[in-house]
Amino acid sequence: MSKRIGIVPARGGSKRLLKKNLQLLDGKPLVQHTLEAVVGSGVFDKVILSSDDDEILAVAKNVPGATPEKRESNLAQDTTKVLQLIVEIAERPGYDQLYDSLAFFLPTCPFRRPVHIREAYELLTKDVDSVVSITKMEDPIQLSLTMNAETKLLNPEAVLSPSPLITGETRSQDFVPYFRPNGGFYISWINNIRKNKNFFKGNVKGYLMDRIHSVDIDNEMDMKYAQFLIDNGQFSFK
């Protein structure tokens, strides 16, 4: 039988929203919603809450099945990428014998549900290296442009040439859709992570989530928007 490990990385430091992972959303700390979804999916043999912050680690007490794990300081710096933590866990001695797959979940995507995780895991077949949750880009990337910070001059052809802004072909319905990772989950075979140290190398499938379930918490306004959706019946954790 395959064994799976799920990881919820939740560092204590947050510059744009102080103590973000502990901010209350619908009466619970933000990180708790992700822990409940991951444990509630029933997919994993072990679920780790990794943090350098003892107050965040204490949230695991509210979620039976979640294991708090104190993160080493060298993996909890402002410059530390979450992928460094995931690779460190994947490369622990014997973990490739204990587990055949690994997944991590950002607490900033609190509306991802257990069913999303279960359905995504069905996509991780032997001919697939990873599965990543995605959502559609809200604005056409074809209409992107850059601006010189000093001169304020715009460059509409920095992304695409010729730019639709120049040709006049700006009907969004005519554009090929683009997608972005939404932080809901990154799933892979553990040996793939040990080898490639990346979730986007090889054959990668996308699991498409709608805009509401892809809400991303980055600042106070995002938190207020998420609470607004709950208060107005647009989303429910039940």
pLDDT in tens, 15-67: 778 899 999 999 999 999 999 999 999 999 999 999 999 999 999 999 999 99
Same domain (yes/no): 69, 82: yes
Inside any domain, residue 238: no
Same domain (yes/no): 100, 204: yes
Q: Which domain range does residue 147 map to?
A: 141-173
For the chain, the distance separating the N- and C-terminal CA atoms, rounded to the nearest angstrom, is 31
DSSP E strand stretches across the chain: 4-9, 24-25, 28-29, 46-51, 66-70, 101-104, 130-136, 146-147, 154-155, 179-189, 204-208
Q: How far apart are CA 119 and CA 238, in angstroms?
A: 18
- Tell me what the mean pLDDT of segment 139-147 comes to: 94
Beta carbons of 4 and 99 less than 8 angstroms apart: yes
pTM: 0.93
Q: How many residues does the chain have?
A: 238
Same domain (yes/no): 58, 149: no
Same domain (yes/no): 116, 158: no
Inside any domain, residue 43: yes
Same domain (yes/no): 168, 207: no
